[in-house]
Structure 1
Amino acid sequence: MKCINCGTDNNLKDRTANQGRCKQCNHPFAFEPTTMGNLKITDPMFAKILADISVKNTLYFTPKQLLYFLDSRIRKKGFQTVGFIGLYLFFNIWVTGFVGGFTSAFLPNSFLIANLVYQAGTIFYLFKNTTSSKLNNASRKASARTLQVVGLVILILGILVSLALGSFPVFTVVVILGMLSIYLGTRQLGKVGNLPQEFIVTQSYIDGWLETWQSINGKIDKVLPAPQEKIAPTSINPDVTAYSFDRLVVCDSANIAQLLIANNFHFENNCAILSINGYPQSIFETTMEMLRRNPNLQVFALHDCSPKGVSLLHRLRTSENWFLNSDVTIIDVGLLPRQILANKRGIFVQNVAALAKRSTELPLEIRQTLSKEELAWLDAGNFVELESFSPQMLIKVLRSGISGSLNLASDDSSFMLVGDGGNDIYMVESFG
């Protein structure tokens, strides 16, 4: 492992002999990959992850975003079709020869039986991979495609062997196994895209690693602390409060609002940023007074894809603290279930049983805005957090939403009008 301080390569013997320090400059290592089990985090890897998520230390990020980002990097080393096929062919011969030879003394046709059992076990293993919550979408799709390849191999080689043996029962078995493998692979390819996932690491690990890293390498300026509530109002120059904003971004969490503010999104896009619960509390009332002065105000809703998230627009339309009895234009940037279901690149979907009940209890006004497919997805307990996207991605999507809102009435617009007469409500068709 290379030292991030001087670049010297230290093997395990060097690190052990120097009590976890670099043999050249004596700089401590934050990670020892040989003691981390299946996780192999190194100092250079962690440093690169910090640089990438912050875009070379230019963007702030939350600890949970770091959790998603690091988890994604680890999963990229998941299942690979080419490597597996090589092992599959090798063990195809080895298992047949070794196990078949071992059982030949007491089991008739032992070599053939050993091979068929191996084929069945391989199909089962690959199918389990396509449903595994510990693999990313790319690995699950690779497993599904490998099922198809294995099915073809079983059919071609199996039929040739059955013909050589002149055995119709063997022919039948290999055709069943081969077609089953091809069928399962083809079926799973269309299902793996948005299956729920589980974290390989936990937030407590990330918090501990951040603490260790900063104690050794200094404070990470771009990692955000938990949002602080300041109830006491902040005094604002009257000359400033005389103006208003053209746009307002409302987030369903203070974490996302803080993230956007920390990255100066409000300055660069002439918009106010608030959370639905009133963050930042110290300027909330003053900001709302300023916003209500603008008859052409546009409101952009940014939220998780969850029962609470899809309720955000309803709260904005029906709360006296927001835009009850107002004709303000509201644009739902997302996340929406339709955006998740339409995404082909794979999104980190989670599943919690408690959210299924919460989804079914949503007010009728909210459920009527969602399709049957979207309701089925939410009612199953699925959800996606905004923090599963990098800061750069969130900023890009929100900027795109604001830019597109300049041409809402155009036939080429990517916004869908779902207003009910009280407000003009628009929904963005895709998220990034």
Structure 2
Amino acid sequence: MKCIYCNTDSTYRERSDGSCKRCHRRFAFEPKTMNKQFVLTDKAFQAAINAVSEKETLFFTPRQLYYQLLSPKVKPPKLNQKGSKGWVGVTIIVIFFSIWIPGFVGGVMSAFTHNDLPPRILAGIVPPILLGLVLWWRFVPLIGIAFWLSTIIGELVALFTKNWLTGLVIGSGLFVIGLLLRFLVPTPRGKGAKKLIGKLAKRPPISYDYFKTTLLDRWLAVHGQPLKMLPEGGRLRPALRNQSESDMEQYSFDRLLVVDKAETVDVLLANNLHFETNMPIVSLDGYPQDVFPEVLKTVRRNLNLKVFALHDTDAKGCLLPLRLREDSSWFPQPNITVIDLGLTPRQVAAQPALLLQKQTRLESLPPELKRNLSPGERRWLQAGNYAELANFRPARLMRAIFQSLQCAAEEEQRLKAAAASDPRGFFQTSQPTARHPTDQPPTSGGWPTPPSTR
């Protein structure tokens, strides 16, 4: 295991005292004595810190570090996303190699061994096994299994019956049956993908509480506080708070971002998203408390205010847009536009790499969710599933917010231009909708589906 300070590699015997053999700095983790379900080294933990902080340029929360640490440990399910033309190509490749490889290998081995039976066995069984494993790993398991079994059975039948035509017919028939099963068994393509992804979604191998009390506390005790890590639970360090309420009334804001957790507010404020977008950021429970009343008072004066809701994929989070729209304690004006940025269950279903959490106790869903979630989404929540925004690193989270704001602004300009070119009023304007960045040519980052306007 390598030391994070001098990069010296120490064997288990050389680090028996828990320190580096060269610089004698302590190791935080010992893979040999850790739980086999989740083995960790100091280098891996440091790499997760560098990744989530973009090499110590962005602030992050402990929960974001938790998900970043798990991201290489939990791989998304390998799903088929190729079209029908791809399957034609795979089938042609399979048929070609099923004929060429056994013949070539068998011929070469027969020339050197002067014995016909062993080369035929090796040529008929070993290449299909290898090619079947490649098909399993690279394309689809069912085609790999079909090719593997059909070829082996066909070769064995030919060897024992001494009739190669019979073996060829049986092997080819089994392979055709395998291909037919491939098209009869549903695969994750199109709309059916989201349902299957939900079943295949990965669960974290360790809980956040275990990460915090066992791994993070151990790291802090040995190596100290990471430079860009924020305190947990919405307690932004005073040195990072640069907001002033004395001249708040001099400003006018066209946009407001409301999130469901104070720690999400902290990471966005610490990374200056509010300055770069000229948009205040507050939480549902009134955080940050020192400026929340002034912010709410200021934004209420703007009748054209647009409110963006950002939340986890749980029942409380999915209710956030409705509450902002209908709770008069937030906005008494009935014409306030509320745009749901997510996360919603349908957005989570489109990203199989996200780690899902499971509630230990299922609760009945609020009836209001019927107004903005489909029956399938409600069933997904009712089953105790939820996903957290902390799945996303700060850079990706802010990039998605930037893109959604830009799309909302472009949509508003389009509607204004259409209305201005229609002086007789035949063009009926509507509330702007925040189009999702992936409605355009694919770009990096962003949410998986278009957010909705409530």
The answer to whether structure 1 residue 56 and structure 2 residue 52 are counterparts is no
Match of 2:340, SS state, is strand
The within-5 A match list for 1:14-93 is 14-16=14-16, 19-38=17-36, 39-76=38-75
Aligned match of 1:158? 153
Q: 2 CA distance for matches of 1:52 and 1:152?
A: 41
Relative to structure 1, is the Cα distance of residues 281 and 175 closer, same or farther in structure 2, using a 3 angstrom cutoff?
same
- Output the CA distance in 2 between the equivalents of 1:183 and 1:292: 58
Give yes or no for the alignment of 1:266 onto 2:274.
Answer: yes
TM-superposed CA distance for 1:29, in Å, is 0.9
Which residue in 1 is equivalent to 2:96? none
d(CA) in 2 for partners of 1:261 and 1:271? 10
Give 1:221's aligned amino acid: L
- The Cα of 1:30 is off from its aligned counterpart by 0.9
Q: CA deviation at 1:392?
A: 1.3
2:205 equivalent to 1:200: yes
Any residues of structure 2 matched to 1:22-421 within 5 Å, and which?
22-38=20-36, 39-76=38-75, 145-165=140-160, 175=174, 179=178, 183=182, 187=186, 189-190=188-189, 192-195=196-199, 196-207=201-212, 208-228=214-234, 238-341=246-349, 343=350, 346-352=353-359, 354-355=361-362, 357-359=363-365, 361-363=366-368, 366-409=369-412
Q: Is the contact made by 2:269 and 2:281 (CA closer than 8 Å) also made in structure 1?
A: yes
How much does 1:72 deviate? 1.3
What are the ranges of 5 or more consecutive residues in structure 1 without an aligned counterpart?
A: 80-122, 127-140, 413-422
- Unpaired runs of 5+ residues, structure 2, are 79-131, 237-241, 416-429, 439-446, 449-454
- Percent identical residues: 32
- Separation of aligned partners in 2, 1:144 and 1:326: 53
Aligned-partner SS, 1:66: helix
Shift of 1:309: 1.5
* Cα deviation code 1:305-355 (max 9, x no counterpart): 2221211111101212212333122211111223233x2553323344745
SS at match of 2:197: helix
Q: Is the 8 A contact 1:148 1:181 kept in 2?
A: no
- The 3 A distance-change label for structure 1 pair 353 and 5 is closer
**Deviation of residue 272 (structure 1)?**
0.5
Closer, same or farther in 2 for the Cα pair 1:425/1:350, shift >3 Å? farther
Aligned equivalents of 1:44, 1:235: Cα separation in 2: 37
Contact kept, 8 Å, 1:32 with 1:41, in 2: the verdict is yes
- Tell me, what secondary structure is at the counterpart of 2:256? strand
Instruction: Find the aligned partners of 2:432 and 2:382 in 1 and give their Cα distance.
Output: 24
1:246/1:145 Cα in 2 relative to 1: closer, same or farther (>3 Å)?
Answer: same
Q: How far off its partner does 1:227 sit? A: 3.1
Correspondences of 1:419-430 after superposition (within 5 Å): 424=431, 426=433, 428-429=435-436
Contact 1:247 1:297 in 2 (8 A): yes
Q: Offset at 1:6?
A: 1.3
Q: Give distance in 1, aligned partners of 2:20 and 2:244.
A: 52
Q: C-alpha displacement at 1:206, in angstroms?
A: 2.0
Shift of 1:281: 1.9
How far apart are residue 222 of structure 1 and its match?
1.8
Matched with 1:3 is 3
SS at match of 1:332: strand
Distance change (3 Å), C-alpha of 1:78 and 1:304: closer
Contact 2:248 2:295 in 1 (8 A): no
Deviations 1:244-281 (A, max 9, x none): 32211000111211221121111111111111111112
1:176 CA displacement: 10
Structure 2 partner of 1:88: none
Indicate conservation of the 8 Å contact 1:194/1:349, yes or no.
no
How many residues are aligned here?
356
Deviations 1:47-75 (A, max 9, x none): 11110111011112222222211111122
Deviation at 1:155, TM superposition (A): 1.6
RMSD (Å), alpha carbons: 3.9
